[in-house]
Structure 1
Amino acid sequence: MLKATLKLELHCPWAEQLAGGCDKISRSTITILQCIPHSDGRGTSAVVKVFTRMFDGKTLARRVKGVKGVKEASFVEVKPYIYLGIVKTLSCPCSKTPLPHLNLLNIRYGEDGKLYWSFLFASKGEFHDFLRELDERKINYTIHEITRVSEAWAISEKQTIVVKKALESGFYDTPRGTTLRGLSQELRISPRAVADILRRVHKKLALQAVEAENLNSLK
């Protein structure tokens, strides 16, 4: 699976109004956690998190309700200066796009006044299909970040000991500070076992490097 974050040239009027009422630092912490399109395709229901020292929940709701197209808005303080809100709209630019229909993780309102959308895709093919649809709908975008979602990369305790000793002994230096046999004598295991352990670690590193290169090619 892939997690992709795109900066889209779309405007969210109520999010912009919300950001305008917060201090400079909090602008980057305004996050739309969920954006669900209505069945008639004319609006959305959204859950938003915002940090502000300037307004309480009632004031935030009043400001958002004043935006054209907003039907309902309510906010509650869950931690000091942190509010969760529900915003329902009668019309919304993004409701006419494929965006809310995908596996949306969140939408972040950046300091540059742009919306950063993070999605989860099952494959590179699904990601490319999404980009083609954006192109067809003439929605301008910039790929901000792509990461692969997979099991945590880790090496075992024994592999860590062997690699650490290899580094300390200069096994990877040029010229080498020790040989495979010398390394095996220090570790008190056979040269074949040392070679096998290092090979497994090197394979993991190689796979990680190839995956990173494949992700970079998508940008």
Structure 2
Amino acid sequence: MSPPRRLAVLHSHLRPDGPAPPADRGENELTPRQEAVVSTSPCAAAGDDSRGAATGRVADGELETCVFCRIIRDEAPAFKVYEDDVCMCILDSHPLAPGHSLIIPKCHFSSLEATPPPVIAAMCSKVPFLSNAIMKATHCDSFNLVVNNGAAAGQVIFHTHFHIIPRRSGDKLWPTESFRRSSIEPNETSSLIICIKEQLDSSPGDCKN
């Protein structure tokens, strides 16, 4: 199979909803749509923030200072336990429990809402596989999957990541687990539900899908 034909087939898998790129172009000639599909992660090379900046996702110099981007570029040390084309799993350098790990995308996105759904899906698809290995290695049978999204939620590194935190019975890791929860208020809840549904209805179509 010729290189252009292979690229056309690859495109059909990555973008099944869009037209396939022509396969009769020169071997080294790419259309703009092909370049968009096969372009490398902006985290792949130091100083190359053109793709992120063009989409408004990355501030000037953010890729150079982001610790996760530096780990992905092998410019900073980390204990890697898993890696594929989309994401990487490393041990947290300041763990809440032994085996506390982070799943990070190789492409830089500062928040969950800025991360494309296919990237989130790829990260989530690895959670059962990785969490099972982590629990077995730490002799645990439970774990928390946590996403700190935004400063008020405790996000410190503004590069999307999931926490896998092994848990043991009685470890008292979260103080809030001992708090008594109040009952939901029906009157307040009805207005809240209406407000949430209005926000969902106003969301872009691709997010709904």
TM-score range (shorter-chain normalised) is under 0.3
Report the TM-score, using the length of structure 2 for normalisation. Answer: 0.24
Q: TM-score of the superposition, structure 1-length normalised?
A: 0.23
Structure 1 or 2: larger strand share?
1
